[in-house]
Structure 1
Amino acid sequence: MQNLHKNVFKEITPLTPFDCFTIFSRVKKEFNFPLHYHDEYELNLILNAKGAKRIVGDHIEVIDDLELVLIGPNTPHVWLTHQCTTEITEVTIQWHKDLFDEKFLTRNQLSFIKKMFDMSARGVSFPQKTIEAVRDRILTLSQRSGFDSVMDLISLLHDLSTSRKIFSLSDTSFLNSKNFSYNSRRLEKAFEFMNTNYHNQISLNDVAKLVNMTDESFSRFIKKRTGNTFINSLNEIRLGHASRMLIDTTHSVTEISYQCGFNNMSNFNRLFKKKKGCTPKEFRENFSGVRVFV
């Protein structure tokens, strides 16, 4: 993430240490803010922007009419006009990352919000049904003031966190690992090892031994905790590093493939396209127009 940040604009938001959050709404004909990140959480509601393109971390997607995304601290993101030809409404809510501290979020009643915040390190997208249910509340939040507006924000975040079918956008490995926790020392150790040695050959047995488990036990363990198999988790890490190199370097796709532990170019291309929806070459081109050097 540190390498990526050299090529991305850091936004200094208008929040002061004495504010709880800020909300601003605008109607515009195009997206013109560069790829950027900031220390605050951001909830972005976008209406009537069908055909626009959203980039969060290493995830790229063309959006529909209704868009609601939660972005965690220091996660690179941008919306691009792309094929959108309509007048766009955008409402952005930003709040300090310490507005809800860790001890507060460990309370039982806040567990869903905490889980959503953990997911936001990768960007969280909400389904259309959820957006329709909360759209008016977001649009009118700016009309409230003081303590009531803070309570409204907490209520909104709770309802979003208990929504069904919310999903993460970017690969974990593309992001600062400090932003995401698996709540397991064994799993953290396993992922740290894979993130450090992704360019080498790594077997299930190597990682299982590292955390003092049998191959079978670790295989079940990682699947239960992450929803991913060992090999899928390793491939995600390798693809995350490959994504970063496609943005940060001028190495050829072949060089990047081998440097990230893929010994078969066709397998690398196939996995990359399956995960990202585009080829490595197309991925690099998508980022080339929005990079800002600071």
Structure 2
Amino acid sequence: MKSIEVRLPQDFDKSFIVFKEKGQYFPCPWHYHPEYELVLVLKSQGRRMVGDHIGYFQEGDLVCMGPYLPHVWVNESSFVNGQAAYDAEAIVIHFQEDFLGEDFLKIPEMETLRNFLKLSKRGMALKGKTKEQINALMEGMIHMNGIQRLSSLLSIFDILSQTREYEFLASPGYLDQIDPQGSDRLDKIKAYIHNNFDKDISLPEVASMANMAVTTFCNFFKEQYRITFVEYLHTVRLGHACKMLSETDRNIVEVAFECGFNNLANFNRQFKKYKKMTPTHFRKMVNMQEVA
């Protein structure tokens, strides 16, 4: 299933978009755009797809996504068929990285926000107090104009820059692009994994690239990514597998071996562990969305 580019109209006198989506169901197809996006579901339930992640949304669900990450919110059938007791509603914020000028995110005060936005390339479901605070601000922004509206967005940025209350959605391997710039050890390792995920990659091999003992490297990697090296490698491989399953008609055996899994049983086991479904089920769900 190929994603398409979709853009929301922006008023000439506003630097970013705050939009209330309301209707029988959310009409947007599987799509992407160059803006960062925050999506708050006010009413409705259903299934959301963000990159290779398939999950479920309900009222109060809040997701932040970076540019060019394909996504779609699919309402339950009662909304699509017009049988729901109320309309689907959501608030959407779109902003580009330079919407306040090319140097805005480069100033020292924006360092923590820059780090958060970099992580948002995978999509993040926000949780806990963070979600409650941002939901309240977004609901208020619908009725604001000018400086009040901008002030609320800056308050959201402040909350995002400090939070750890989130869950990543798309796996690293799903992303079309990586950022191998920089000279630190993790950048080199990440680039190596993304360029060689379809081959055998051993832990001693990558530890030596970082000039570390294996145990030291394992602790270092988990501290940085909050998952083990092996778990990260699995998510990269599975992300590429999901792209192949959704965008090609290659059979599952071919997909497994081309994504670095040495046998089909291991591929199926890891896929079910991380995606909570089989590769066959994943492909069926993607195809159902394409038909819809």
TM-score band by shorter chain is 0.7 to 0.9
For residues 137-158 of structure 1, the C-alpha deviation after alignment (integer angstroms, 9 at most, x for no partner) is: 2122132222332122111221
Structure 1 residue 114: Cα displacement: 2.2
- Would you say 1:67 and 2:61 are equivalent positions? yes
The 8 Å contact of residues 182 and 225 in structure 1, kept in 2 or not, is answered as no
The 8 Å contact of residues 98 and 105 in structure 2, kept in 1 or not, is answered as no
Residues 14-25 of structure 1 mapped to structure 2, 5 A cutoff: 14-15=9-10, 19-25=14-20
2:199 is paired with a residue of what secondary structure? coil
Identical columns (%) = 32
Any unmatched runs of 5+ in structure 1?
none
* Correspondence for 1:194: 193
For residues 69-97 of structure 1, the C-alpha deviation after alignment (integer angstroms, 9 at most, x for no partner) is: 11111111100013554421111111112
The 8 Å contact of residues 122 and 168 in structure 2, kept in 1 or not, is answered as yes
* Correspondence for 2:274: 275
* Correspondence for 1:209: 208
- In the alignment, the residues of structure 2 paired with residue 71 and residue 93 of structure 1 have an alpha-carbon distance, to the nearest angstrom, of 10
- In the alignment, the residues of structure 2 paired with residue 233 and residue 277 of structure 1 have an alpha-carbon distance, to the nearest angstrom, of 17
Structure 1 residue 199: Cα displacement: 1.4
* Correspondence for 2:41: 46
> Given the superposition, is the C-alpha separation of residues 215 and 136 from structure 1 closer, same or farther in structure 2, using an over 3 Å criterion?
closer
> Given the superposition, is the C-alpha separation of residues 163 and 214 from structure 1 closer, same or farther in structure 2, using an over 3 Å criterion?
closer
One of 38, 41, 49 as aligned partner of 1:55: 49
- In the alignment, the residues of structure 1 paired with residue 23 and residue 166 of structure 2 have an alpha-carbon distance, to the nearest angstrom, of 27
- Would you say 1:29 and 2:24 are equivalent positions? yes
The 8 Å contact of residues 56 and 123 in structure 1, kept in 2 or not, is answered as yes
Structure 1 residue 133: Cα displacement: 3.2
Structure 1 residue 241: Cα displacement: 1.0
> Given the superposition, is the C-alpha separation of residues 213 and 187 from structure 1 closer, same or farther in structure 2, using an over 3 Å criterion?
same
> Given the superposition, is the C-alpha separation of residues 115 and 182 from structure 1 closer, same or farther in structure 2, using an over 3 Å criterion?
farther
For residues 224-262 of structure 1, the C-alpha deviation after alignment (integer angstroms, 9 at most, x for no partner) is: 211121211111111111111111211111111111111
Residues 231-242 of structure 1 mapped to structure 2, 5 A cutoff: 231-242=230-241
* Correspondence for 2:143: 143
- Would you say 1:82 and 2:76 are equivalent positions? yes
Whose RCO is larger (CA < 8 A, sep 6+)? 1
Structure 1 residue 17: Cα displacement: 8.4
The 8 Å contact of residues 244 and 255 in structure 2, kept in 1 or not, is answered as yes
Any unmatched runs of 5+ in structure 2?
none
Amino acid paired to 2:216:
S
Q: Normalising by structure 2, what TM-score?
A: 0.87
Q: Normalising by structure 1, what TM-score?
A: 0.87
> Given the superposition, is the C-alpha separation of residues 103 and 187 from structure 1 closer, same or farther in structure 2, using an over 3 Å criterion?
farther
My pick for the range that moved more, 156-165 or 144-153, is 156-165
Aligned residues: 285
- In the alignment, the residues of structure 2 paired with residue 175 and residue 99 of structure 1 have an alpha-carbon distance, to the nearest angstrom, of 24
* Correspondence for 1:91: 91
The 8 Å contact of residues 13 and 38 in structure 1, kept in 2 or not, is answered as no
Structure 1 residue 108: Cα displacement: 5.3
Residues 208-287 of structure 1 mapped to structure 2, 5 A cutoff: 208-287=207-286
Structure 1 residue 42: Cα displacement: 1.0
Amino acid paired to 1:250:
D
